[in-house]
């Protein structure tokens, strides 16, 4: 009997203690207010806006209510050309675009995604960014330009098509004098090849070609091109090119806003970018390949691989552009040297090790 009474007394005392402890602990676990970041994308719709949303969804899911990004489509607050300045000044908290959209501030910007091909793809350029000193050089560029920004890079794009023409291109001589749309240093390369280059936002490309403002154009991939309706203004589509053979997204944040966040939220913004890197490649290559089939089989588009002669001429044009700008810009030359060093080592291994996948494809599919 005494044992039962002691046990009841102990349990009662424990319950009171637990209640008291719970009351004292309650204020310490009050939910913090959600931090909301406004991010504008350079995309009004289509697969690239889906990609931007995918990054945002990853951040929002991992942050668990502590941080939320609100994604705004193109031109919601400022024009695409003004996005970087808007983030720098804090008008926007963040932006989702590509460095080629602000390379007019420095040609070095174009080396982070729309630079020369040293035998590498977008995957290896991102390897240089993360493990070859590229990120340090980018941050040095931000300091040189006085920009209050923190950026992450992700989503390795396949090589961009040479694009849409009024006739099949079999020789580079056919391209001379054509009014052509592209962006970044690719504009300098194609000017070197004798083209007349016009830089237009994606949504203006199809109307410009339809009206005759331009003769030929590229944007990025079969899915976006099909969404723009390029198949309605041309039936000659050339895949493969060295003008923009590697590119990826830049996600940039106002540095003061970023630094004000707890370290764990900064880590979420950074690691969500790495996670989206893989998702983009898996998701987009499937869509691109499916839409290429639709362009050919449903829209009657003639699909060609750009002749090797044209691509050799592009490489020669790149050499001239690189040499000219390197002579004018010491920092540009420094970044080029870093890229060449990384590409020479990494691509030596990959070229020796990778089998000829085209040989295997032809074995099974003809």
> What's the average pLDDT block by block, 10 residues per block, for the chain (366 residues)?
41 39 39 88 96 98 96 96 97 96 93 95 97 98 97 97 97 95 92 92 89 94 95 97 96 98 98 95 97 98 97 97 97 98 98 96 96
Residue 32: the pLDDT is 66
Q: Which residue has the tokens 């580079």?
A: 172
* pTM given for the model: 0.88
Residue 183: the pLDDT is 87
Buried residues in 334-347 as b, exposed as e (16+ CB within 10 A): ebbebbeebbeebb
CATH fold, domain 35-156+246-285, is: D-Maltodextrin-Binding Protein; domain 2 (3.40.190)
Residue 196: the pLDDT is 94
Residue 200: the pLDDT is 83
Separation CA 9–CA 2 (nearest Å): 11
**Can you give the residue ranges of every domain in the chain?**
35-156+246-285, 163-244+301-355
Residue 231: the pLDDT is 97
CATH fold, domain 163-244+301-355, is: D-Maltodextrin-Binding Protein; domain 2 (3.40.190)
Check for a shared fold between 35-156+246-285 and 163-244+301-355.
yes
Separation CA 206–CA 212 (nearest Å): 10
């Amino acid at each position: 009997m005494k044992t039962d009474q002691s046990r009841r007394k102990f349990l009662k005392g424990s319950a009171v203690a637990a209640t008291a402890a719970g009351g004292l602990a309650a204020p310490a676990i009050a939910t913090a207010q959600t931090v909301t970041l406004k991010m504008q994308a350079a995309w009004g719709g289509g697969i690239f806006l889906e990609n931007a949303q995918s990054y945002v969804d990853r951040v929002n899911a991992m942050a668990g209510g502590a941080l939320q990004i609100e994604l705004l489509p193109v031109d919601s607050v400022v024009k695409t050309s003004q996005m970087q300045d808007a983030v720098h000044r804090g008008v926007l908290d963040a932006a989702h675009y590509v460095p080629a959209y602000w390379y007019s501030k420095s040609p070095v910007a174009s080396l982070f995604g729309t630079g020369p091909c040293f035998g590498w793809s977008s995957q290896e350029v991102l390897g240089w960014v993360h493990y070859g000193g590229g990120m340090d050089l980018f941050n040095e560029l931000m300091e040189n330009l006085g920009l209050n920004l923190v950026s992450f890079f992700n989503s390795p794009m396949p090589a961009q098509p040479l694009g849409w023409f009024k006739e099949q291109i079999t020789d580079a001589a056919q391209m001379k004098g054509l009014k052509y749309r592209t962006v970044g240093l690719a504009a300098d390369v194609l000017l070197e090849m004798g083209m007349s280059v016009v830089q237009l936002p994606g949504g203006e490309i199809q109307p410009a070609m339809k009206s005759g403002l331009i003769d030929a154009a590229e944007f990025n991939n079969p899915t976006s091109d099909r969404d723009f309706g390029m198949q309605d203004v041309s039936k000659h589509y050339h895949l493969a090119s060295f003008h923009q053979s590697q590119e990826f997204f830049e996600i940039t944040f106002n540095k003061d806003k970023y630094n004000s966040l707890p370290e764990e939220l900064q880590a979420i913004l950074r690691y969500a970018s790495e996670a989206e890197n893989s998702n983009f490649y898996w998701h987009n290559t499937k869509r691109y390949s499916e839409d290429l089939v639709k362009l050919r089989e449903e829209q009657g588009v003639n699909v060609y691989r750009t002749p090797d002669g044209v691509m050799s001429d592009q490489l020669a044009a790149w050499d001239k552009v690189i040499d000219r700008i390197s002579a004018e810009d010491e920092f540009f030359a420094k970044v080029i040297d870093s890229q060449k060093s990384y590409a020479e080592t990494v691509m030596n291994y990959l070229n020796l090790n990778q089998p000829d996948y085209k040989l295997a494809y032809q074995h099974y599919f003809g």
